[in-house]
Amino acid sequence: MTAYSAPTRDMQFVINELTGLSEVAALPAFAGQDIGPDLIEAVLEEAAKMATEVLAPLNRIGDHQGARISPEGVIPADGFAEAYQSFIDGGWNGVSSDADYGGQGLPELFNTAAQEMWNSANMSFALCPMLNAGAIEAIHQAGSEEQKALYLPKMISGEWTGTMNLTESSAGSDLSAVRTRAVPEGDHYRIFGQKIFITWGDHNMTANTIHLVLARTPDAPEGVKGISLFIVPKFLVHPDGSLGARNDVHAVSIEHKLGIHASPTCVMAFGDQDGAIGYLVGEENKGLAYMFIMMNEARFKVGLQGLAIGERAYQAAREYARDRVQGRPVGVKSGDRVTIIHHPDVRRMLLTMKAQNEAMRALAYVVAVHMDLGRKHPDSATRQRHQARVDLLIPVVKGWSTEIGIEIASLGVQVHGGMGFVEETGACQHLRDSRITTIYEGTTAIQAADLAGRKLNMDQGAAMRVLIADMETTVAELDCAPGDDLAVIRAALDDGVKALAAATDWILASRDANSVMAVSVDYMMLTGYVCGGWQMARAARVAQRKLATGEDPVFLDAKIITARFYAEHILPKAGALLRSVQHGGVSSMALTEEQF
């Protein structure tokens, strides 16, 4: 398996040139922290060491060994416990967490870049702190002051980990079917039920695991309006923070999966004996709202997994293409054979991988800055404006990026040829690991339905129209001479933005909900391709300006060429997807059940 090298040069370019870092640095919440390029460079350098030296070497080991269940609970793969200790000793678990509870209080942007590295290096490992982050955010936003004081310091430090317990065998994406029971008993509840697909639901890397569990109280109404959220610790916690008795919650089995073998996916049993003691978060019957705090946190980070796996697959394919000697250049019938990176179609595949990785990275990092501004800006109207952008684009970051991540991992296998189908190269693992990303934390269809069916209708398309206007401004600002790279990029982006505007108008005007849902994935992918093209155009404009000063010509020239490739090979998909959106809904629903 090819060693992982964190793409810190491109990360710094995106953060410093495209995200609006100065606006984040000016926020009162970050006063005195000297948020700027020097700090970014230092954080990325140290995170890269953690990713490349500690986490990446365990990726193949974890894939081979997997986690295993024993009478004592779930046992992680060799080296994971030691790596986790190094991870929390370095303070990486609380990069953007609240400083009042022991976090570093840095911008989410910093955490986003680090999360990309963790997932590229070892996605199975990274899932543990990722789920913990969602649980932290839910308790932070919805928990009582006592709950925050009791649980957050040790969850943020990483001494304890957190999980999300939503899914049941009869209640997958349909949470209205949740049947886990919560019976009141004094100042707590007794939880009875079973949850499935619980990522890192049990392990021995920490002293305690804090489960956030969806359940119904006895008098709860049916449907999603009757679910509540509960804190259910593996070990009960005394008021002084010390650990008490083992709670009645256990992992009864772990799944045997296509990928992410080292991440234990557990079946969790609550209340096999007297009932697991749980503590209500917030108010009864408002668990759905609290769940979405966790879910949105997780969905954004799963979108980063699509980017992260795409980056790892690209690096492996690039290095193989540089080393693998096969064939002569096109049109040459004699002489030495060359490495396959000289062949046009291999270059097409590598550039498809590279360009889409860079587009995903830029979009995700830009959304992270909107998160920081939406959470931390002192002006409420400004917070609302940035939060509207976050709400609109999280389903795109999650859905589009994970679909593209799988495509890139598959191309990685293709670049390797027959050796890509052999496990020793590692290309197979990237494809296997990536495949779950379009499924968990809400499938691609759920993200698309959220975008086309919910987000557009919430404000009658206002947030999307603001986004489109921002893209149109970029088109207008692209200074270019006829025929040069930026002229090509500008024309393609202009076409893409027009396609997105037309598709949005069609979705909003349609009165056929089935047709809208039938083309919603196409609409979401169209949005992703155009958003990616928008960021690549912005990057090309910055690169052209910097090239004029003689700065870093190799990197910057590659940035412009890669953006042009995206404009010529990727952005044209927007036009085809527009036609699908406008005309594809009827045929999707036309067959009877018997005709399938």
Q: Could you tell me which residues come within 8 angstroms of residue 45 by beta carbon, excluding any fewer than 6 positions away?
A: 8
Q: Per the structure block, which two tokens stand in for 582? A: 């406008």
Q: What share of the chain is helix, strand, coil (3-state, %, to 5)?
A: 65, 10, 25
DSSP conformational letter for 220: P
CA distance to 457, 513, 527, per residue, from 521 (Å) = 16, 14, 10
Other CB atoms within 10 A of residue 141 CB: 15
Whether the CB-CB separation of 125 and 161 falls below 8 Å is answered with no
Nearest-angstrom CA–CA distance, 444 and 395: 8
> What is the torsion angle, in degrees rounded to the nearest 10, for the CA atoms of residue 403, residue 408, residue 412 and residue 413?
30
Residue 182 main-chain phi, psi, to 5 deg: -130, 110
Nearest-angstrom CA–CA distance, 500 and 491: 14
Question: Longest Cα pair distance anywhere in the chain, in angstroms?
Answer: 85
Burial environment of residue 339 by CB neighbours within 10 A (0 to 12, 13 to 18, 19 or more): middle
Other CB atoms within 10 A of residue 316 CB: 25
Nearest-angstrom CA–CA distance, 148 and 290: 15
Q: Which of 284, 311, 358, 441 is catalytic?
A: 441
**Residue in this structure with the two tokens 């303070």, named with its chain if needed:** 91
DSSP result, 164-197: EE--BTTBSS-GGG---EEEEETTEEEEEEEEEE
Nearest-angstrom CA–CA distance, 495 and 481: 18
Q: What 3-state class would DSSP assign to 67?
A: coil
Pairing, β 235-237 against β 243-246 = antiparallel
DSSP conformational letter for 339: B
- Catalytic annotation present for 441: yes
Q: Per the structure block, which two tokens stand in for 565? A: 């490739």
Q: What 3-state class would DSSP assign to 263?
A: coil
Q: What 3-state class would DSSP assign to 253?
A: strand
Q: What 3-state class would DSSP assign to 278?
A: strand
- Helix residue spans in 417-455 (DSSP H): 427-434, 444-449
Burial environment of residue 126 by CB neighbours within 10 A (0 to 12, 13 to 18, 19 or more): buried
Report, as residue numbers or ranges, the catalytic residues.
441
